[in-house]
Amino acid sequence: MSDMTITFYGAALRVTGSCSLIKCAGKQILVDCGLIQGDKNSAELNREPFPFNPAELDAVVLTHGHLDHVGRAPRLIADGFKGPIFTHSASAELADIVWRDSARLSAHDGEPLYNGANIDQTINLIQPMRYGETAELDGGISLRFFDAGHILGSAHVEIFGQGKRLLMSGDIGQPNSPIIRDPTNEWEDSYDAVVIESTYGNRLHKSRSDTLEEFKQIVKRAVKHKGMVLIPAFAIGRTQELLFHFNHMIDSGELPRIPVLLDSPMAQRVTSVYRSHRECYDEKTWAAIDKDDPPMRFPGLRELVSSTESKTVKSMSPPAVVIAGSGMCSGGRILHHLKDFLDKESTTVIFVGWQGYGTLGRRLVDGVDKVKIHRQQVKVKARIETLGGFSAHADRDVLVTWARQISGKPRFFLANHGEEDAAKGLVKALKDEGLKGCRAVEPDQTYEI
């Protein structure tokens, strides 16, 4: 048996449910414990017992605060885990928000995955990390965090033990994303193996500049036709980027000063976390702050807190922009707005993120002519737009460039966190670049490092 092994219990040949178990020096370290999303039986899958004993884990590492990476972590505590949880300090705050929202939503599907007490216990186990900081574990194992440039606090995680050095990419960000810094691209050490995400391992994104121009033209067209613009947006990362862009385009006069309504209490809490962790900002954002132009505040921005405020949108005189969750239209306040405005030709719905199979968002993107929302059939007459260039995930070329910058030519790369075509597409791209030992990981399979 190798001195270090890794088993992929989640996000192998799929995008959600990240969960990887590393064994080294007699210790067990779990990297991420995410929620499975997008499957017809996701609720049942998330309630299944873990394929390991949480009470036997020595530590948990959370790469960032997205639901598909942290969503089941409080269940570990409910099932007996009592060890430390290592994550970036910003990720800890985001995870707290995500867990409380997840507990509330899962209660609607039956018995909740965990409760407030479990979440409080989880928070108490967190040992917040900073980029570049090293944590020492028993057995001579160490952890080190690097900036992954995906969302606030996202991290690549290095695990060293028994002479083996493993790098877990977590989710890798697309360079030049607003507010936060780009992914780490300078490495001092060599690695025996690298686990690399592959969400978009077989495709390229549009350039951000082209995407922004397309986005601006879509909004301007909607304003001209006096229509509502509905943007289903993920509360973490995507919403903050949208606020950043609206701030710039309205301040510069590229867009008229129309109401921009942030109708997501969760996104408002997340935005507050973003505003408080300025140590994660890039140079451009700091330059704007120095000019007294904070990145997520602008004239016309209105945050709708109560459900009563949210209901007033129905009677508003367009044009206006509504940013609301959930990003895949699987719940949240966006459903009310879709029910009210989908049947109007003047409405524009802009999808700015990945839409999971089986979700309402995916059906709208696929062009259905009617949908059921809150047991009501709604005709789809609105203009449906999809913008892929806002993705917070690296595309194929960025992933390959990131992999080539790893020093020491790792013995192999393990492509994880991607549907089968994407994972295998990335493996081919890596091999074409001369990187050896690349493979797409299989569910529940153990690999020796």
In the predicted structure, residue 40 carries a pLDDT above the cut 90 = no
Q: In 260-409, which residue ranges form alpha helices assigned H by DSSP?
A: 265-276, 283-290, 307-311, 334-341, 360-365, 396-404
What's the confidence (pLDDT) of residue 411?
Answer: 86
Distance CA 11, CA 201 (A): 14
Give the pLDDT band of residue 2 (cuts 50, 70, 90): low
Q: Is 375 helix (H, G, I), strand (E, B) or coil?
A: coil
Strand partners, 416: 197
pLDDT in tens, 96-136: 999 999 998 777 767 789 999 999 999 999 999 999 999 99
pLDDT in tens, 243-287: 999 999 999 999 999 999 999 999 999 999 999 999 999 999 999
- Side chain identity at 390, as an amino acid letter? F
Distance CA 258, CA 299 (A): 9
What's the confidence (pLDDT) of residue 400?
Answer: 97
CB 150, CB 69: distance < 8 Å: no
pLDDT in tens, 314-359: 999 999 999 999 999 988 999 999 999 999 999 999 999 878 778 8
Distance CA 327, CA 236 (A): 10
Of the two residues 234 and 231, the one the predictor is more confident about is 231
Distance CA 151, CA 235 (A): 11
CB 211, CB 388: distance < 8 Å: yes
Residue range 140-152: mean pLDDT, rounded: 97
Angle between helices 89-108 and 265-276 (to 10 degrees): 170
CB 65, CB 34: distance < 8 Å: no
**How do beta strands 370-373 and 376-379 pair?**
antiparallel
Average pLDDT, the chain: 94
Give the pLDDT band of residue 239 (cuts 50, 70, 90): very high
How many other C-beta atoms lie within 10 A of the C-beta of residue 217?
Answer: 10
Of the two residues 378 and 2, the one the predictor is more confident about is 378
Distance CA 328, CA 47 (A): 21
**How do beta strands 134-137 and 141-147 pair?**
antiparallel
Residue range 176-197: mean pLDDT, rounded: 94
Q: In 126-264, which residue ranges form alpha helices assigned H by DSSP?
A: 208-224, 238-251
Distances, alpha carbon 418 to alpha carbons 35, 396, 441, in Å: 15, 12, 10
CB 373, CB 338: distance < 8 Å: yes
CATH for the stretch 208-390 = 3.40.50.10890
What's the confidence (pLDDT) of residue 41?
Answer: 82
Give the pLDDT band of residue 241 (cuts 50, 70, 90): very high
**pLDDT > 90 fraction of the chain, expressed in percent and rounded:** 85
Give the pLDDT band of residue 150 (cuts 50, 70, 90): very high
Residue range 351-369: mean pLDDT, rounded: 91
Give the pLDDT band of residue 388 (cuts 50, 70, 90): confident
Distance CA 259, CA 219 (A): 12
User: What number of CA atoms fall less than 13 Å from residue 143's CA on the CB side?
Assistant: 29
Whole-prediction pTM? 0.92
How is the chain split into domains, by residue range?
4-203+392-448, 208-390
Distance CA 382, CA 345 (A): 5
Fold of 4-203+392-448: Metallo-beta-lactamase; Chain A (3.60.15)
**pLDDT > 70 fraction of the chain, expressed in percent and rounded:** 99
In the predicted structure, residue 377 carries a pLDDT above the cut 70 = yes
Residue range 149-161: mean pLDDT, rounded: 98
Distance CA 319, CA 250 (A): 15
